[in-house]
Amino acid sequence: MNKKDLSLLVLILVVGAVVAFINPRFLYVGNLSNTLNQVGMFGIFSIAEAFVIIIGGIELSVGSVIALLGVLFIDLIVNHDVNWVLALAMIIAAGLAIGAVHGTLVTKIGIQPFVVTLCGLLIYRGAARYYTEDATAGFGFGASFPMLEWLTAGRTNILGFPLPHSVIALFVIAVIAWVVLHRSVFGRYLYAVGKNEEAARYSGIRSGRVVIAAYVICGGLTAFAAILIAMYTRSISPAVHGSFYELYAIAAAVLGGCSLRGGEGSIVGVVLGTVLLQVLQNLVNLLGIPSSLNFAVMGTVILIGVLADQYLVQRRRRATTAKGVPQASGAGASVGASAE
Amino acid sequence: MSEPFLELVDISKNYPGVVALDHVDLSVSRGEVIALIGENGAGKSTLMRVLGGVVEPSGGLLRVDGVERSSLTVAEAIKAGIAFVHQELNLFDNLDVAGNVFIGREPVYGGPLRLIDRKQLHARVRPLLERLGADFGPDAPLAELSLAQHQLVEIMKALSLDARLVIMDEPTSSLTLTETDRLMRVIAALKADGVSVIFITHRLNEVVQCADRAVVLRDGHVVGSLRRDELAPAAMIRLMIGRDLKSLYVPPAAPPGASVLDIDGAVTSTYPDRAVSLSVRRGEILGLAGLVGSGRTELARAIFGVDPLQAGAIRLDGEAIRVASPRAAIDHGIYLIPEDRKGCGLLLDVSIAENISLPDLASYLRFFLVNTARETANARTQRERLKIRAPDVGTTVGSLSGGNQQKVVLAKWLSMRPKVLIFDEPTRGVDVGAKQEIYDMLRRLTDAGVAILMISSDMEEVIGVSDRIAVMHEGAISGFLDRSQFSEHNVLQLAVGHAVE
């Protein structure tokens, strides 16, 4: 865990302690379990977003994909009697395909990621609404998938605490993502492409493939999150379901130390960022702040966090230059030497 | 010729470890056309930057209209009537000609609204267009004009500021012959109007064609000034060279073997109608000399698979290979140490060890994961071998000096199995000590059987390190030189497109 992650953890604990102090209900088992369930669902698509942000891209269609794939999933199992295991596989495949299309448009055609995924945001939302004729998709009377429901939206008592399965899923995914990003060759390539695509190419990395892979991973994980969220809400109004979720994902990634310029960020940070956002959401509810201020509170806290981070970085930099660390003077010499 | 209105007296400019200008004197009279010539790195551009107010001299003074001062700011230079037409033009693609000429000085109306008076804007630009004989109107969008026309726009911008001196840095380097001809006529027209021109060029026949005087720089000194009647390519070349090169040369342990890399009729997109053929033999350093812009870097990029080859073939050990990407080149054992170290060679805020392992991560695998212990161990070995001066291999590369950064780039490839190494300016921005270490490493590599193609604009390096020299001129090889023919004179002759006598 790096310094940034640690300070984020401290911030979460401080905010949590303040909320718990003002309103002890924060620590009730039911409330914690519900908050964790949110963390599980939001954490998965935030990790998805982080993959794309680390290679220097952006994915804005997360919320719309969650709506479209959620609608499709429910429709498949409820109205078309598709076996849920098969439906799950189909939806994940659809997510992977969406990612592949985005990645290909970005690398092979050279359209900016913001534009590609903004179009995706509009297209998938429209498609979801058209598909259901703007009606709410949900489970009819008697429709029941006990196994699927238990797996996706259930909770298991562990030492008396009802642990939501979405958190367990997040944990597994986070561990795998951590290993991939921070220990595997592919992870090195992701960071290298994000930091300096040209230098990565000159080192023999097929940067186009790496970028496409990042979007594909993002699409697959988003599809999985879409199923969890659909099973949790059980009814989907395609006009609003999942809207702004891409912004939650980007916010969590930025809080977790990802730079929108690419090449930075850690999985632990992204998960902690998600936790902080959900704690804030919970804070708004528990402290009796009008829920209309929800986004304003989140925005303010993120802004303060980024400002504080900038301040600390600058202070640290000033401290190192003041001490005259040899490295700093070495950097100066190299700049001078190349200014011919 | 009238009194000089601008004089540079005893101007020096030092950079850490480099003397770019060493007590330079230069005077400019009204309506005088001065050609500034010299090898790459002789100090021409620095001198012009001092005049344009971009660079502050370390010593000496400038006299403008009899007023002495130690340096100029850009604003003062413009006020003094000095205008700079940059090599890379500073124009706005999204504006029209008139908008570019009067950028920041647009005539306005409408009081506080400050709306642009387009009519007056165009009216002011029209006489300038006529003066230069331009074949486009004031409302022509810049994006639709050619490079030569862009230059005219820059010159108009200078004239609209009442420039008395127009400085052009290699104005013809990317122009066609007809365009060059027209620029020469524009220079003549400026001269007739009493405007002085200083132009930097590598094309000596242009100097003969239109300069009143040629000033020759070498290693930051003015080594000579030739009057109109003394202007001849031979005389200019004689002045441009003529220093004793330190002998750096270490002969190879064994005579070079069979050719390893054969380039046959390679065509790059920069020079679509020129082809390059050359071969590099086992155990030799082939120097690739030529002026900046002669197409050497483009050739290197094509061999390494960064840019596609337009035509031609690459053979490795006699077998034709297809290099569609850097990955393919690397898999064949062809490695490039690029010119732009910071942009293409390194990940600056990543550690030395991770930079070194990047192209070869597959060989550090242990159960699909990177074996960091082996990565660190290998980086330490390379640090010893190349004498990379850094506290540890975990140090980020961005904090190292230029020489040590270059060694890290080299270390990336040396931990693999190089067959052909292409160096593009191997010692640019590298201090003297590290330079020698890099040269020693080149020789050790060739003695171990590697073939090296070394692009260099540093004459001392080309002549002192190469076993053989190929010289490029405008996208094609203008000649090969064996060690017995090595001389600055011969390299320069070939570089400007003349034959060696």
What predicted TM-score, i.e. pTM, was given to this entire model?
Answer: 0.80
Number of structural domains found in chain A: 1
Residue in chain A lying closest to B14 (CA): A340
Region at A49 (left for phi over 0; alpha for psi -120 to 50; beta for the rest):
alpha
What residues of chain A, 67 to 126, have a C-beta less than 8 Å from chain B? Answer: none
Q: Which long-range contacts (CB under 8 A, 24 or more apart) does A84-90 make?
A: A84/A145, A84/A147, A84/A148, A88/A227
Q: Does A324 score more than 60 pLDDT?
A: no
Structure token pair of residue A12: 């979460």
| Contacts of residue B269, Cβ cutoff 8 Å, sequence gap at least 6 | B298, B307, B310
Q: How many residues are there in chain B? A: 501
Query: Taking Cα atoms as reference points, which of A118, A124, A88 lies closest to residue A106?
Result: A118
Residue B334 tokens, joined:
């062809």
> Which pLDDT does position A141 carry in this prediction?
66
Contact yes or no for A338 and B428 at CB 8 A:
yes
Output the pLDDT for position B497: 84
Residue B179, classed as helix, strand or coil, is helix
Q: Which residues of B touch A334 (CB under 8 A)?
A: 400-402, 405, 429
Distance from CA of B447 to the nearest CA of A (A): 25
pLDDT of residue B87: 65
For chain A, the average pLDDT equals: 89
**Going by C-beta distance under 8 Å and a sequence separation of 6 or more, which residues neighbour residue B442?**
B285, B423, B426, B452, B454, B465
Average pLDDT score over chain B: 88
Dump pLDDT digits (tens) for A268-308: 999 999 999 999 999 888 888 888 888 898 888 888 888 88
B362 touches chain A (CB under 8 A): yes
Q: What is the pLDDT of residues A127-150, one digit of tens each?
A: 999 999 988 888 876 667 888 889
- The H or E element that residue A323 is part of is helix A294-323
The answer to whether A324 faces chain B, any CB pair under 8 Å, is no
Q: What angle do CA B249, B254, B255 make, to 5 degrees?
A: 85
A177 vs A256: CA distance, rounded Å: 14
Residue B431 to chain A, least CA–CA distance (Å)? 7
The label of the residue with tokens 């395609």 reads A238
Residue B414 with chain A: CB contacts under 8 Å: none
In DSSP notation, B253-316 reads SS---SEEEEEEEEE-SSSTT--EEEEEETT-EEEEEE-TTSSHHHHHHHHTTSS--SEEEEEE
pLDDT of res. B245: 52
Mutate to test the interface with A, among B14, B327, B407, B438 (most CBs of A within 10 A): B327
pLDDT at A340 > cutoff 60: no
CATH class, B4-241 region: alpha beta
Q: Which of A183, A199, A338 sits opposite B346 (nearest CB)?
A: A199
Give the per-residue pLDDT at A301.
Answer: 84
SS3 B27: strand
**Residue A143: what pLDDT?**
67
Q: What is the pLDDT of residue B162?
A: 85
* pLDDT given for residue B357 in this prediction: 93
Give contacts of A200 with chain B, Cβ < 8 Å. 347, 358
Distance of CA B419 to the CA centre of its chain: 28
A340 within some domain: no
Quick check: is A326 in a domain?
A: no
pLDDT tens for residues A163-177?
Answer: 999 999 999 999 999
pLDDT at B378: 93
- Is A180 part of the contact surface with chain B (CB cutoff 8 Å)? no
Spatial distance between the Cα atoms of A236 and A239, rounded to a whole number of angstroms: 9
Q: How far apart are CA A226 and CA A70, in angstroms?
A: 5
Instruction: Report the C-alpha gap between B233 and B495 in whole angstroms.
Output: 13
pLDDT at B170: 81
List the single residue in A179, A192, A331 with the smallest CB-CB distance to B347: A192
* Cα angle for residues A11, A14, A18 (degrees, 5° grid): 140
Nearest residue to B382 (alpha-carbon basis) of B351, B418, B422, B413: B413
Question: Residue ranges of chain B with pLDDT lower than 70?
Answer: 1-2, 17, 87-89, 174, 242-248, 432, 501
Q: Left, alpha or beta for A225 (phi > 0: left; psi -120 to 50: alpha)?
A: alpha
For the sheet containing B4-15, what is the strand order? B18-29, B4-15, B59-64, B67-69
Rounded to whole angstroms, the Cα distance separating B106 from B98 reads: 9
Residue A1 has pLDDT above 70, yes or no: no
pLDDT computed for residue A320 by the predictor: 65
Which of helix, strand or coil describes residue A119?
Answer: helix
**Residue B145 to chain A, least CA–CA distance (Å):** 25
pLDDT for residue A325 is more than 50:
no
Q: Strand A161-164 vs strand A155-158: parallel, antiparallel, or unpaired?
A: antiparallel
Q: What is the CATH number of the domain that holds A295?
A: 1.10.3470
Tokens of A322: 């003041």
Establish whether domains B4-241 and B246-333+417-501 are of one fold.
yes
Q: Confidence band (pLDDT; 50, 70, 90) for A334?
A: very low
The pLDDT value given to residue B54: 85
**pLDDT at res. B85:** 84
pLDDT above 70: percentage of residues in chain A: 93
Residue for token pair 């001392």: B460
Domain assignment present for residue A325? The answer is no
Count CA within 13 A, CB hemisphere, residue B19. Answer: 12
Integer Cα distance of B478 and A321 in angstroms: 51
CA B128 – CA B114 distance, rounded (Å):
24
Percent of chain A with pLDDT over 90: 65
What is the CB neighbour count within 10 angstroms for residue B280? 26
A199 and B370: CB-CB below 8 Å? Answer: no
The ranges assigned to domains in chain B are 4-241, 246-333+417-501, 351-416
Among the residues of B42-136, which ranges form H helices?
44-52, 74-79, 97-101, 118-132
- Between B292 and A95, the more confident residue is A95
In 3D, which of A132, A174, A129, A202 has the Cα closest to residue A268? A174
Quote the pLDDT of residue A88. Answer: 96
* d(CA B494, nearest CA chain A) in Å: 25
Q: How many residues does chain A have?
A: 340
The pLDDT score that the predictor gives to residue A339 is 33
- Domain residues for the domain of A140 are 3-320
Question: Rounded to whole angstroms, how far apart are CA atoms B364 and A79?
Answer: 51
Position A219: which residue type? G
Average pLDDT over residues A209-226: 97
Question: What confidence score (pLDDT) does residue B489 get?
Answer: 85
Q: Cβ contacts (< 8 Å) between B343 and chain A: which residues?
A: 196, 198-199
User: Does the distance separating the beta carbons of B15 and A336 come in below 8 Å?
Assistant: yes
A201 contacts B343? CB cut-off 8 A: no
From the list A185, A200, A205, the residue facing B370 with the nearest CB is A185
Which among A183, A330, A339 has the least Cβ separation from residue B401? A330
ipTM of the complex: 0.80
Q: How is residue B25 annotated by DSSP?
A: E
Tell whether the model's pLDDT for residue A124 goes beyond 50. yes
Mean pLDDT, residues A190-209 taken together: 94
Split at pLDDT 50, 70, 90, the class of A153 is confident
Q: Which of B41, B345, B370 sits opposite A199 (nearest CB)?
A: B345
**Gap between the terminal Cα atoms of chain A:** 42
Residue B137 near residue B149, CB atoms below 8 Å: no
* CATH number for the segment(s) B246-333+417-501: 3.40.50.300
